[in-house]
Amino acid sequence: MSQVHFTLKFNYGQRLEVAQGDLTLERVDAIVNAANAYLKNSGGVAAAIVMRGGESIQRECDEWVNKHGPVSHAQPIFTGAGMLNCRYVIHAVGPIWGEGSEESKLAQTVRGVLNVAERLRLESIAMPAISTGIFGFPKEAAARIFLEEIVAYYDEFPESKLKLVRITIIDPPTLEVFLQVFRSESPLGRMD
The strand pairing partners of 90, in sequence order, are 32, 78
At 5, which helix (H) or strand (E)?
Answer: strand 3-9
Domains belonging to the chain, first-starting first, are: 3-185 (3.40.220.10)
Give the tens place of pLDDT for each residue, 138-169.
Answer: 999 999 999 999 999 999 999 999 999 999 99
Q: How far apart are CA 166 and CA 6, in angstroms?
A: 10
Percent of the chain as helix, strand, coil, to the nearest 5? 40, 20, 40
Q: What is the pLDDT of residue 177?
A: 98
Residue 41 has pLDDT above 90, yes or no: no
Answer yes or no: is pLDDT of 192 > 80: no
Q: Report phi then psi at 105, rounded to 5.
A: -65, -40
Nearest-CA neighbor of 16 among 117, 171, 151, 175?
151
DSSP per-residue string spanning 33-58: EEE-TT----SHHHHHHHHHH-HHHH
Please report the pLDDT score of residue 1 as a whole number. 74
Q: How many CA atoms are closer than 13 Å to the CA of 64, on its beta-carbon side?
A: 21
Q: Which of 178, 89, 166, 164 is nearest to 131 (CA)?
A: 178
pTM: 0.95
In angstroms, the CA 183 to CA 180 distance is 5
Q: What is the pLDDT of residue 44?
A: 84
Reduced to 3 states (helix: H, G, I; strand: E, B; else coil), residue 190 is coil
Neighbouring-strand partners of residue 164: 15, 124
Local structure of 119: helix, strand or coil: helix
